[in-house]
Structure 1
């Protein structure tokens, strides 16, 4: 069996698994082999297999059942309809992020401590250096936004953000894959300017810049339709 060699590995692994499903290797309702079996077959790590399974689960081909394994729920995907569903889900995620993070930015500007401001500056710098993969970039971006929410000193907003993070992460990874570009200097500057407003204790500007930034994510979906 030909191992997966090209980047991005998770997408290649997902495509390889889908090809095997289409070829009839696993029937509808069948249980896939475990990560320790699939990983060496495809020449990737177990974490890559998990990400590939997650991608196919998002496309309705696989489903994970806790304690039971991963099962085939469809033998193929309809790409056009799948893209519509993914864009709708991502739009809903961005709208929820706006509801949480715009208010958090405003509160952070009035409540942040000097230590929290230093943490925000470090998070901005960390984000600037994490552009190698979509997943790495999204994780660094999430860490920055989480630091902003934390600086708001509102435990409900923090709980909402933390509970929402897994779904938000998946949606942001999908969005950047659909768009085909991420981590630009302009995008990095937007985040630095949000932190600058928080540093200046300018609540209105911090909220406005956060809303504008998140609004551009929705706009990107329209340009890739």
Structure 2
């Protein structure tokens, strides 16, 4: 695909996409040195600053690399997926396996680090989950996730909190599908209440071992159900 002058706006996005196409379509193969900034600016009909920003974006995607005194070279034919994109594309069972690893340790940490405010938040989240028992499946799943988020928050590790937040969109849809496909709430609208109450109680009394074990058992039961779908 030959390069050509771009439309007026948005220039950086257009320049990035046009250069990306040259790479992903095989016009510029791995190892190829790209034309200089001046040449690219002239071909695309933009300023050097626009070309520079486009190249920076491509470098961030893992497609090109600037080498001091040598120029910019193609180092990959496909862009690297960012973490949220990779999660969206992943199998929900794979995501859930990692969730088990993260949340079990978070529950143990929460039992050791929780504050009075955390205990209030956990009690409120448990009450919210119970209150959602008479609501639809999506609302119930949202309330369930809110309780798990409160547990992770009580661990007081911002990396864990941020990582759990990244998992939520994939987990939410997977859990809704699970509840609906297996009709888990037909006989017990507040499915899993006992385990969640035990979890909150264990955290409240600073029992890290029981908190971790309780959550592991609860999550693993759900994981097995997801695998069986």
TM-score by length of 1: 0.57
Question: Structure 1: which 5+ runs fail to align?
Answer: 1-87
Equivalent positions of 1:204-223 (< 5 A) are: 204-221=209-226
Give yes or no for the alignment of 1:192 onto 2:202.
Answer: no
Deviation, 1:91, is: 1.7
Query: How far has the Cα of 1:106 moved from its partner?
Result: 0.3
* CA shift in 2, pair 1:162/1:186, >3 Å: closer
Cα RMSD (Å)? 1.7
Q: Which residue of 2 aligns with 1:166?
A: 169
SS of residue matched to 1:130? helix
What secondary structure sits across from 2:206 in the alignment? coil
- Deviation, 1:169, is 0.7
Give per-residue Cα distances to partners, 1:116-175, cap 9 Å, x unaligned: 101101110110010221100010011100010000001110010011111111111111
Higher-Rg structure is 2
| Runs (5+) with no aligned partner, structure 2 | 1-89
Match of residue 157 from structure 2? 154
Question: What corresponds to 1:93 in structure 2?
Answer: 95
Offset at 1:185?
4.6
Q: May I ask how many residue pairs the two structures share in their alignment? A: 137
Number of the residue aligned with 1:122: 124
Q: Distance in 2 between matches of 1:159 and 1:220?
A: 26
2:181 is aligned to 178
Which residue is equivalent to 2:40?
none
Return the TM-score normalized by structure 2.
Answer: 0.56
